[in-house]
Structure 1
């Protein structure tokens, strides 16, 4: 079904409720991102583009290094259209330089999480066919890259010298006090396969022209699905990446333009940060303030030092700010907008954050396969509580019954499905997974929810997390939201486990707030007023910490494995 030919008043109720100044059918820009960022650099070369721990890079410097590195990639490594280049870098100035240079050279970026195991990285690099990897000389990261070369999964390394990212005094101090943290490249058994990043920049080579077909050529091969199975490489074209940037830009109503400053504490190798923390602001000439990892003290100091006002975040990061005694209203005063993504934002965290900061807190929703943003709450005015907002301009959504596959009506729960210019073309070398990802041309998200009469979207849970209890659908998020309302509960995660009588039963894992005490019986009594008998957890397990993914999302995978090893079917 082609929504473009149908009645928009019926099929797109969200249009009537868009914030003032935003149109759904606005023209979407699909100019490749590297061309956009180089144009931004040319417009204002003396403005600061990047701030890393106080060290700054101007837009002019950024452009010079992108061009020089792109030329070296082409002429030294033969990077051309279709070449896969792996980036295993934390947030440093090296990342955006390498990212845009690979695209300018015609290559495809393959993001690699530096915290992944060598086994996980082996699958990604081998599946992608990435001959070259760009990484850091920090020992913990370099050792993994070295192992990948020794195993034959990567042929060559380009290594960035971490102290070069620091301002002068910090660089000197680091080189002396932290020298043991740096790998000795000359002593590596693969030394002959290593090129230093700074040496490539110093060649100052001009790259050859590359003709990009934005709608066909792949800009980023982003791996996804690692928490539930073997990661798949989502193929995102130049047009996909640029379209989502354009959609977010228009949704922001000027938020991502100077004098705004965007904080990048989420890692660029994650699709949310790549788009919202890096691509959108830099292409608009807006400063990006980077942290290599989340540390509350360092993040709070950024607000005071830089007056940065836009914070893309995940719920656990927002909870850490809201619950920290050290985070004061004065420190958070520069913050105008916090954008939550990556996981569901509980009402508890919303309330706690509002008690600490005056910033507008907007929840967004997306997935790797959509580059990633699909829906977002308004970024300038309040939206409906607990909603992930409205579909972005140019984006269509529908909800489909998870059993029959039929489109459901307003207010009825079903699987969220998406159409739009930001949706991937498929998975790399995986025709079966690509077929499964789509239904009648719509991207299947695997998330269950509904739309209200105003077009606002509300999510219930993931299909894969759905618990079938005595034939009834039980959604873990409903239980988690109820548990989060108890004053003693800091974090909670609910899974389904085999149950001889009911088929499956919910089990709740709970981390209590510091100094708090509550028994399982007391929690169940509290829940009895909020949940029906089928939703009531069979068991509440208290833990000192709950497992999280590498971007801070609570993870069910480890809990399922742990429970399977320690419990028997009841």
Structure 2
């Protein structure tokens, strides 16, 4: 008997999984963990509701191939909408935590025609923020509430009004059709929109099935958001392609501390076989004792989204006997560049294994370049092709070993340059993370007038640790292989700043380092100034000069400019003094 034809589009993939596993659970949404309550959706129901959602989208948008923006957590409704939008239009999942202006600019660029958003909820401004964005957009797209009812359109109230039958042939997508626009981040400036074809997304899903040896016998925990390619394409679409049972833990996913606290309990209760998350989530899971829970079902854990500390791999193995495998991807490669090689034990420090149709080479400057079926065709609205003969420059530095294992050594832009000497932040981070009291470490350059930059490190200690800065500095001095890389300062933080998906925000740490350098210079001049965090927009640091004597404001502003800090002269700046947010003459 011949095997079924390989799916070429997201729609064909959904059809194939529903045909093979119709009555098997595809999703279980854990709406609450105290007590644990789950809502189960079969593969047949997943396809049927995707059909209904597709017709709902076309009806409300009133156009062919509409762009559909999604501001939703990873819940069953979001799965229906993400895949239906990709099939009959273009899906545009967005980070709900972005500010109003960022959402407006992204939807304006995407030419959004319909918005699905979490309805009004206590303590959340998302619904109102989205309404404000919709009113500002030229087409004023309809806003459809999900989970809780709001406005004129409720997804749950409308869904059953539409047919669950197979989509008509003219509605079904082709492999080279654009399936989605994914934004590239949003932690600095206005992110770009990366275009994914159906072929890109299906290639990512098939790579997951092959490399993870995933099958209908697996149960996987997916706590990542759907605006992130790992949550949407690797874990979700890859999981659907394999026919596994996917658990979606609460509205907040891994950002819900209770999910982390109950991780081992969930493994035991549902027989989870595949778990993991970004390194900060895995580190938090390992802070929780096993507590006698039976985790024998768990065959592997996987991490990615940021460099995985070697110490984290060793800690998991010591605690559970399991391998922490690693994956590496980016939005522009549909989330997949490397995945685990399960034929070998995980290699601490490796970012995963290169295999299949993915090609990786290291450029002359050490930059990782990738080519293959997951690599996107380009950014929306950018005429210039970002690829060179099909090769995508990742911006990451790395090396390949003889077995095809990739090692990330840093970001090209994250290199610390001390008196012309290039310092890889990973050297510092790996050294500090080998200290038994350190949970996570991040190294950045602190501006210095003589050396240009000096290496400093920000450290998050393990729970209950009483390690001191001087102890950590001495440890680094003793264990650092490269003496110029020894951090000049170590700063202890209760928690390192992370993005919505848990990546350490290094540019925020660079701001903190610059603020420390600024304070030193100001104190030498006899000034005591305040660096404030602007909570209203992007969370960046703003130097407050309002209470500084007018005669010192020029110097203060000049120093802030040199250190890359934003500054504010205050609302009461005199007419002849430094103007608010002005550049000094």
Fold in common (TM above 0.5): yes
Aligned to 1:529, the other structure's residue is in SS state helix
Over 3 Å counting, the alpha-carbon distance change for 1:142 and 1:379 in structure 2 is farther
Aligned to 1:458, the other structure's residue is in SS state strand
Answer yes or no: is the 8 Å Cα contact 1:133–1:156 preserved in 2.
Answer: yes
Instruction: Give the superposition deviation at 1:147.
Output: 2.3
Task: Work out whether 1:310 is the aligned partner of 2:294.
Answer: no
Answer yes or no: is the 8 Å Cα contact 1:245–1:280 preserved in 2.
Answer: yes
- Report matched runs for 1:267-306 at 5 Å: 267-291=225-249, 292=251, 293-294=253-254, 295-306=259-270
Q: Pick the aligned partner of 1:518 from 467, 473, 487.
A: 467
Task: Work out whether 1:31 is the aligned partner of 2:8.
Answer: yes
Aligned to 1:133, the other structure's residue is in SS state strand
Residue 78 (structure 1) aligns with: 62
Task: Work out whether 1:462 is the aligned partner of 2:411.
Answer: yes
Over 3 Å counting, the alpha-carbon distance change for 1:329 and 1:271 in structure 2 is farther
Residue 410 (structure 1) aligns with: none
Residue 499 (structure 2) aligns with: 549
Q: Distance in 1 between matches of 2:44 and 2:155?
A: 19
Runs of 4+ in structure 1 over 6 Å off: none
- Report matched runs for 1:199-238 at 5 Å: 199-205=157-163, 207-210=167-170, 214-238=174-198
Q: Distance in 2 between matches of 1:310 and 1:514?
A: 26
Residue 323 (structure 1) aligns with: 287
Q: Pick the aligned partner of 1:334 from 297, 301, 308.
A: 297
Answer yes or no: is the 8 Å Cα contact 2:11–2:172 preserved in 1.
Answer: no
Instruction: Give the superposition deviation at 1:42.
Output: 2.7
Q: Which runs of 5+ in 2 are unaligned?
A: 31-37, 522-585
Aligned to 1:491, the other structure's residue is in SS state strand
Residue 315 (structure 2) aligns with: 352
Instruction: Give the superposition deviation at 1:484.
Output: 0.9
Residue 425 (structure 1) aligns with: 377
Bigger relative CO (Cα 8 Å, ≥ 6 apart): 1
Task: Work out whether 1:92 is the aligned partner of 2:56.
Answer: no
Q: Which runs of 5+ in 1 are unaligned?
A: 1-26, 163-183, 186-190, 403-413
Instruction: Give the superposition deviation at 1:65.
Output: 1.2
Residue 326 (structure 2) aligns with: 363
Q: Distance in 2 between matches of 1:156 and 1:299?
A: 38
Answer yes or no: is the 8 Å Cα contact 1:251–1:393 preserved in 2.
Answer: no
Q: Distance in 1 between matches of 2:10 and 2:183?
A: 20
Instruction: Give the superposition deviation at 1:370.
Output: 0.5
Instruction: Give the superposition deviation at 1:260.
Output: 0.6
Task: Work out whether 1:533 is the aligned partner of 2:533.
Answer: no
Task: Work out whether 1:485 is the aligned partner of 2:434.
Answer: yes
TM superposition score normalised by structure 1: 0.82
Deviations 1:247-299 (A, max 9, x none): 222222xx321111111111122101112221012123221111132222343
Task: Work out whether 1:63 is the aligned partner of 2:63.
Answer: no
Q: Pick the aligned partner of 2:136 from 151, 159, 174.
A: 151
Over 3 Å counting, the alpha-carbon distance change for 1:209 and 1:131 in structure 2 is same
Answer yes or no: is the 8 Å Cα contact 2:313–2:348 preserved in 1.
Answer: no
Instruction: Give the superposition deviation at 1:359.
Output: 2.8
Task: Work out whether 1:393 is the aligned partner of 2:378.
Answer: no
Instruction: Give the superposition deviation at 1:396.
Output: 0.9
Instruction: Give the superposition deviation at 1:152.
Output: 2.8
Aligned to 1:66, the other structure's residue is in SS state helix
What root-mean-square deviation, in Å, do the aligned CA atoms of Structure 1 and Structure 2 show? 2.2
Task: Work out whether 1:562 is the aligned partner of 2:512.
Answer: yes
Task: Work out whether 1:451 is the aligned partner of 2:435.
Answer: no
Q: Distance in 2 between matches of 1:61 and 1:129?
A: 31
Over 3 Å counting, the alpha-carbon distance change for 1:523 and 1:566 in structure 2 is closer
Over 3 Å counting, the alpha-carbon distance change for 1:449 and 1:329 in structure 2 is farther
Aligned to 1:332, the other structure's residue is in SS state coil
Over 3 Å counting, the alpha-carbon distance change for 1:383 and 1:360 in structure 2 is closer
Q: Distance in 2 between matches of 1:439 and 1:397?
A: 13
Instruction: Give the superposition deviation at 1:400.
Output: 0.9
Instruction: Give the superposition deviation at 1:195.
Output: 1.4
Q: Distance in 2 between matches of 1:112 and 1:242?
A: 21
